[in-house]
Structure 1
Amino acid sequence: MVAGMDAAWVALGLSLKVAGLATVINLVLGVGVGYLLARRSFPGRDLLDTMLTLPLVLPPTVLGYYLLVLIGRRGWIGAWLHDTFGINLIFTWQGAVIAASIVAFPLVFKPARAAFEAVDGQLENAARVLGVPEPAIFFRISLPLAWRGILAGVLLGFARALGEFGATLMVAGSIPGKTQTLSVAVYEAVQAGQDGLANLLVLITSLVCVSVLLAATWLAPDYKRRRRPV
């Protein structure tokens, strides 16, 4: 049981690291792309939105296959990385971060875009009339008014990255202590008939995800309005 506890905490630590890094990546990219699509109109915008949302509906194994085609040893990007820099992303925790980032990206990007679209554009236009630079408008007006929706999406993305299984298993494998995240560890424990370890891992995963989802609910932009008595 002690060994099982140790394995559970190692898997939890790795999962938190993978999900945390994936969330940071998605925060930067999701907010940037969400703001771009919310405030700019250009040819192909709807197609770009569709492609960025696709990981939300595609089976994780399909995403894992696409990643193998891209970053595998013989993939388009993977072959170049290996031949140029000697970098191999397959069966590494870095590969797990990439898989988790792609799977969770729509959950950060879509709320970010919706949050920016809810910001009154007249406030931004008034700042432009006063000569405020675009970066200052973003950081002083748009982002402060949209932060609750963005943060709720970031927490949802973190929870999704924490529970990612299919694409992670295909790209990173299941190497204990190196690439075996909580969700993969649950699968391995069930396959090995280790019910006690599986129960412990499921409990830890459930508690973490419930906590994150509750935080996302409390931070939702309309939470206070829904809590008001009629």
Structure 2
Amino acid sequence: MTAALRRRSGPALPRLLWAPAVMGLALVALPLVGLVVRTDLAELPARVTSPGAVAALWLSVRTAAISTLLCLLLGGPLAVVLARGRVPGRNVVRALVLLPLVLPPVVGGLALLYLLGRTGLAGQVFHAAGIRIPYTTAAVVLAQTFVAMPFLVVGLEGALRTANGRYEAVAATLGARPWTVFRRVTVPLVLPALGSGLVLCFARALGEFGATITFAGSLQGVTRTLPLEVYLLAETDVDGAVAVSLLLVVVAVAVVALARPRGCDDTPRPVHGASS
């Protein structure tokens, strides 16, 4: 009985790990507790249902969903190519892909502005064709995608590198075409990592601020997402900013909790056939 329980619960952890682990949890959780304590619960419903907050929430959810889809369509293939393909200068390419993780978001917004702005490298062509990207909803989506896509690429590439490639090799030797192998073998192997990466992308896009305000501005109903609404309220209505901040926290927690794939749960499973 005791041996079976040990196998199920895993190896014992060193006691020295518990103190810093609790401190790390406190560092993340206690500021949120302070936010809840600071919130006026009596006025909370009125503040979070104000026209500005509702419009910002709807815009944030909509643009974050579109950004997550773009991360899947662009970042997914990029991760597969980096993990499985023969890419010249792969380390340089990987460093470029991961750069938004370490760049301040404001710098990313400036980079997008000087690429797609009216006098930017590509923006001049778009402007000549009558297409304006900065300070539009499309700019919000691009800014969110810029900062969120590395989260998908990192997780998915790592999963592809650690996945057993024998199944793909067997499918190829049996005559399956590359696209069939990718669709029927590769994708199911990394599906938990893909789902987890998409959840992280959505959460990151939902909370994006710096690149958005630099590249898209803050136009109500057009580019003013929920983080920008919090920033503006903090200058004029602190209680309103706290209430909307709590709304953003609740939405982010709900997304991570409900959309997290079951395959990402690392809780040890019971060992079948273990003696009781």
TM-score, normalised on structure 1?
Answer: 0.92
- Percent identical across equivalent pairs? 36
Which amino acid is 1:214 matched to? A
Q: Tell me if 1:203 matches 2:246.
A: yes
Q: Which residue of 2 aligns with 1:46?
A: 91
Question: Does the CA-based 8 Å contact 1:155-1:215 persist in structure 2?
Answer: no
How far did 1:197 drift?
Answer: 2.1
Q: Tell me if 1:21 matches 2:66.
A: yes
Structure (1 or 2) with the greater helix fraction: 1
In the TM superposition, 1:81-120 aligns within 5 A as: 81-84=126-129, 86-120=130-164
Whole-angstrom CA distance in 1 between matches of 2:145 and 2:134 = 15
In the TM superposition, 1:167-182 aligns within 5 A as: 167-182=211-226
In the TM superposition, 1:73-222 aligns within 5 A as: 73-84=118-129, 86-192=130-236, 194-215=237-258, 219=262, 221=264
Pairs aligned (count) = 226
Which amino acid is 1:104 matched to? A
C-alpha spacing 1:23/1:147, structure 2 compared with 1 (3 Å): same
Which amino acid is 2:264 matched to? P
Which amino acid is 1:140 matched to? R
Question: Does the CA-based 8 Å contact 2:64-2:206 persist in structure 1?
Answer: yes
Question: Does the CA-based 8 Å contact 1:217-1:223 persist in structure 2?
Answer: no
How far did 1:42 drift?
Answer: 2.7
Question: Does the CA-based 8 Å contact 1:8-1:200 persist in structure 2?
Answer: no
C-alpha spacing 1:165/1:71, structure 2 compared with 1 (3 Å): same
Question: Does the CA-based 8 Å contact 1:104-1:161 persist in structure 2?
Answer: yes
C-alpha spacing 1:3/1:159, structure 2 compared with 1 (3 Å): closer
| Range with bigger deviation, 134-143 or 117-126 | 117-126
Tell me which stretches of 4 or more aligned residues in structure 1 moved more than 3 Å. 1-4, 215-222
Q: Which residue of 2 aligns with 1:8?
A: 53
Whole-angstrom CA distance in 2 between matches of 1:3 and 1:127 = 53
Whole-angstrom CA distance in 2 between matches of 1:56 and 1:71 = 21
In the TM superposition, 1:59-74 aligns within 5 A as: 59-74=104-119
| Range with bigger deviation, 3-12 or 62-71 | 3-12
Give the alignment's Cα RMSD to 1 decimal: 1.8
How far did 1:41 drift?
Answer: 2.6
Give unmatched runs, 5+ long, in structure 1. Answer: none
Give unmatched runs, 5+ long, in structure 2. Answer: 1-45, 272-276
SS at match of 2:253: helix
C-alpha spacing 1:75/1:37, structure 2 compared with 1 (3 Å): same
Question: Does the CA-based 8 Å contact 1:155-1:216 persist in structure 2?
Answer: yes
How far did 1:224 drift?
Answer: 3.4
